[in-house]
Chains A and B, each alone.
Chain A
Amino acid sequence: MPIETWLPFVWAVIIALAVFFYVCMDGFDLGLGILFPFIREKPERDVMVNSVAPVWDGNETWLVMGGGGLLAVFPLAYAIILPALYAPMIGMLLALIFRGVSFEMRFKADNAAQQRWWDRAFSWGSYGAAICQGLALGAIVQGITVTGRAYGGGWWDWLTPFTLFTAFSLTVGYALLGACWLVWKTEGALEHRARDLARALGALMLVLIALLSLSMPFLQPAFRARWFDFPLILLALPVPVLMALLAWRFFRALRETEAREALAAADPTGRVFRWRDGTAFACVLGWFFLCYTGLGISLWPNIVPPSVSIWDAAAPPASQLFVLVGAAVLLPVILAYTAYTYWIFRGKVRQGEGYH
C-alpha cells in the first residue's frame, strides 16, 4: 500500500482517539459543572471540584491535541471546519475560559456572594462548552458546504433541529459521565444523590441514543447505504446487542455500589475497598465508545462530510511522518503518566479532606 494511502488512515485513527479521550475525560469534568444546579451545598460542591482538580488540565489538553493534530495532519479539514463552526467554536472557547478559571477562583473568593458567582461561572461554562461541542458534532454529521478549499456555507448552518438535538444529547451524556464519576469518587449523601441522578440520566441517555441511531439513516443517503447494504449490516447487528448488555450492566453496577456502601458502613476497620464503584462509569464509557464508533463508520472516509475525505485533507506525507514518529513514541508515554496521575489521586474524595 502506498504511503499516501495508509498514513492518513493511521492519523485519522489517532486523531479520532484523541477526540474520544477528550470526550471521555473532559466529559466528566464538564458533567460536574452540568450537575451543579442539582447539587447545591457548598461542601459537596467542593468535593466535586476537588475530585477532578488534579486532572482537569490534562483532560482538557486532549482538546488541544485534537485541534493541533488536525492542523498538523489535516490542515484542510482544520481550515474548513473551524470557520464553518465559527460561532459554536468561539462560544466553546469562551465557556471553557469561565469553566477553567473557576477551578481556582471559587476557592479564592472572599465571601459567599463571590463564591456563588464563581460557581455559576463553573456551571454555566460547563453547560456552554457541552452545548457548543454538541452543536459542532451535529453540524459536522449533517454535513458542511465546501467551495474550493474553503467553507462555502452560511453563518447559521450549524443551527438546525438536528444540531440542537445533538447538543442536548451530548449535554445529557456529559452529565451522566459526571454522575457516574461521582458515584465512583465520592461517598455518603453525595454518592446517593449522584446514583439517583445517574439512574435517571442513564435512562434518558438510552432513549436519546436510540432516537439518534434511528435518525441517522435519514440524515444523508450515504449513511443509509452504509448501514443497510448487505455486508455491513452484519457488522452493525451486534451493536444494539452490546448496547443492551452494557445498559443492563450499568444499572446492576449502580445497585452493587449500594450494597458495597452498606458493607463499608458496617465495617469498623474501614478496609472494605470500593474499587468496583467505577463499573457504572466504565459502562457509560462503553456507550460512548459504541456511539462514537458507529458515527465513525457512518462518516468514513470523510473528515469533512459529505465531500472531503481524509486523503483530500491530508498534509504531505513528510508532515504526517514527522509527527507520527513523535506521536508513536510519546503518546504511550503520555498515556502512562496520565494513568499514573489518576493512580496517585485514586480513591474516594472526602469532605474537608481533598488532596494534599
Chain B
Amino acid sequence: MLWEALPSALDLARFQFAFVVVFHFLFPAFTIGIASYLAVLEGLWLWTKRDVYLDVFRYWLTIFAIVFAMGVVSGVVMSYQFGTNWSAFSDKAGPVIGPLMGYEVLTAFFLEAGFLGIMLFGLERVGRALHFAATLLVAVGTAISAFWILSVNSWMQTPAGHSIAPDGRFMPEDWFAIIFNPSFPYRFVHTVTAAYLTTAFIVGAVGAWHVLHERRARDRDGSGVTPGHKIANPQARVMLSMAMWMAAVVAPLQILIGDAHGLNTLEHQPQKVAAMEGHWERQRGAPLILFGLPDMEAEETRLAISIPYLSGLILTHSLDGETPGLRDFPREARPTNVPLVFWAFRVMVGLGTLMALTGLVSLWLRLRGRLYDTGWFQRAAIAMGPSGLVAVTAGWITTEAGRQPWTVYGLLRTADSVSPLAAPAVATSLAAFVVVYFLVFGAGIWYLFRLFSRTPGPFEQGPPKGEPIRTGGILPGPAMDPAAMQAGRPSSSGDGPHAPSGGGPHAPSGGGPHAAPGGGPHAPQPAE
C-alpha cells in the first residue's frame, strides 16, 4: 500500500505544524514592525506637517493591508491547528495556555481588526486625530498579540506557575508566574526587536531600490531630476534613511539582547545550547565552532572549524567557564535533530551580524553625506531586504527544534501530544496546506513585489480619467483620495514644508479643494 510508505502520523503532524507556523510567522514578523512604522510616519506627518511622511505612510499602508490579510487568514489556521492535530496537548495544557490565547483574542485580535477598517479607509471619514488613534491602536494591538503568544511559547519552553493533576493535566496555580515565566521577557524583547529589524530591512531595500533606480535614470538621460534636490525621490530617501537608522541603532542592540537570551537558555535548557554550539562534551574554555557537521550517531561534530575559548567566553563571560555538552544528557532528552538546531542558529547569527554591519556602514556613509549616492551600498541594502525574514525563521527553528522532544519542556513529550489521527488524514491535509499556501501566498507575495516596484511619490496621479475613483479592496490607494487629486500638488514640492493654508490635500480648512461634492473629506457623511 502506498499509505505504508508514509512517515508516521506524528512526524507528519510535526511537519504540518512547522510548515503552517513558519509560513504564518513571516507575515506577523512584517506586520508588527510595519504597524509601528506606520504609526511613526503618521505621527511625524501630523507633527512636522511634511507631506512626504504621508506619502510614505500611504505607500506602506497598501502593503500593510495585504500582509495583514495574509497574516489573519494564516493565523486562523494556527488557532485551530492545536485542536485538529495536537488534541492531547490541548486537553492537557489547555487550562494553562488556553486562557493566555483567550486574552490574545480579547486584547489584541479584536483591537487590530476593529480599528484596521478605520485605519485603512477612515482618513477622510473620521478626521486626523481619530485616524491617528486608530493607527496607534492597530500598532499596539500587534504588540499585545506578540506579548500573549510569546508568553504561551515561552511557557512551553520554560514552564512555571502550574501543578500537574493526577490525570496529567497542567493546572494553573500562579498566573503571574505562568505569564512571566523565566524565558518570556527575553523571548518577547528578542522577537519584537527582530520584527522591527525585519521591517526595517524590507523598507530599506525598497527605498534603496528606488533611490538607485532613479539615480541611474538620471545618470543615463537626466530624467527624474528635480531642481534643488540631489535625489529625485524624497519618499524613497525617507524610507532608506529611516530604515538605516533602525539598522544602525537596533541591529547591534539585538546582538546584546540575543546574548542575554542565550544565557537564559543556557540556564533553563542546557541541551538546546549544547546543540546550538555543536558541543558534545562538558568542558572549560569551550571553542566556538564556526562550521562543522554534527553527527548524532558518532556523538561528535566532524570537520569543525573553531575559535578557541570563544564559546565559553560568550556563554559564561569568562575564559575558563564550564559549558555543557550533549553527552551530559541521556539520548532521549536531547534535541532530536542536532544538525538542524546547529545550522539554523548559525544562519540567524550570521544574518544578525550582517544586519548590524549594514547599519554601521550606513552610519559611516551618512556621516560622510554619501548615503544616497553609494551604489554598492544600495545594492547591499537590496540584497539584505529578506534577511530579517530569513533570520527570524532560522531563530524560530533553532528554539523550536531545540525544544524537542518535548512540547512542554521536560514534562510533556511531543509523541504524547498528538491527536489520534491516522497518517493518511494528516498527509492529505498537509498536502492541501502546502498546495494552497504556495498558490495563495505565492500570488500574494507576487502582488507585494508589484507594489514594492511602484515608484514612491506624492499621491497626485490618480487613476486614468473615466475609471471609477474607488478601486481599492480594503486598500486606500492613491486613487481613493479625491481631495489630493483635485489639489494637484506640484510634483516638485513633495519634499518641501507643507503650506498650512495653501490648499494642501489635508489642510483643515474646508475651502479650496475640499469643497468637493459631498461636503469635504472630513465632514461626516450624511446618514442614509
Chain A interface (Cβ within 8 Å of chain B)? 43, 46, 49-50, 53-55, 57-58, 60-61, 63-65, 67-73, 75-76, 78-83, 86-87, 89-90, 93-94, 96-98, 100-101, 103-108, 110, 121, 149-151, 155, 271, 273-275, 315-316, 318-319, 322-323, 326-327, 330-331, 334, 337-338, 341, 344-348, 351-356
Contacts and interface: CB of A to CB of B under 8 A. Distances in A.
Contacts of B468: 43, 46, 351-352
Given A97-B74, A274-B528, A316 B91 contact: no
Nearest to B448: A108
A122 B169 CA distance: 41
A322 B482 contact: no
B162 to A, nearest CB: 10
Given A97-B73, A104-B474, A346-B527, A54 B83 contact: no
Contacts of B450: 108, 110
| A interface majority secondary structure | helix
Nearest to A147: B420
Contacts of B72: 57, 60, 100
A10 B478 CA distance: 48
B356 to A, nearest CB: 34
Contacts of B473: 49-50, 53, 103-108
A79 B88 contact: yes
Most buried by B among A46, A86, A149, A330: A86
A75 B170 CA distance: 11
Nearest to B165: A316
B353 interface: no
A252 B96 CA distance: 51
B73 A101 contact: yes
21 contacts: A57-B68, A64-B75, A65-B109, A67-B83, A68-B104, A79-B90, A79-B419, A83-B83, A83-B419, A86-B419, A89-B83, A96-B73, A101-B440, A105-B443, A107-B471, A108-B473, A323-B99, A346-B527, A354-B470, A356-B124, A356-B476
Given A90-B429, A97-B436, A103-B474, A344 B82 contact: no
B19 interface: no
B76 A63 contact: yes
Interface in B168-186: 169, 171-173, 175
Contacts of A121: 440
A342 B80 CA distance: 28
A97 B440 contact: yes
B85 to A, nearest CB: 8
A155 B440 CA distance: 28
Nearest to B419: A83
B106 A353 contact: no
Q: Which of B95, B125, B440 counts the most A-chain CB atoms under 10 A from its CB?
A: B95
Contacts of B98: 68, 71-73, 75, 78, 315, 319, 323
A90 B84 contact: yes
Q: How large is the interface on B (under 10, 10 to 19, 20 to 34, 35 or more residues)?
A: 35 or more
A97 B77 contact: yes
B121 A54 contact: yes
B88 A150 contact: yes
Contacts of A50: 470, 473
Question: In this complex, which of A273, A275, A318 has the most chain B Cβ atoms within 10 angstroms of its Cβ?
Answer: A318
Nearest to B524: A344
B101 A71 contact: yes
A83 B421 contact: yes
A64 B76 contact: yes
B474 A318 contact: no
Interface in B125-142: 125-126
A338 B114 contact: yes
Contacts of A55: 117
A74 B521 CA distance: 48
A315 B436 contact: no
A331 B102 CA distance: 12
Contacts of B101: 68, 71-72
Nearest to A339: B114
> Looking at A105, A121, A347, which has the most chain B CB atoms within 10 Å of its CB?
A105
B293 to A, nearest CB: 38
A341 B113 CA distance: 10
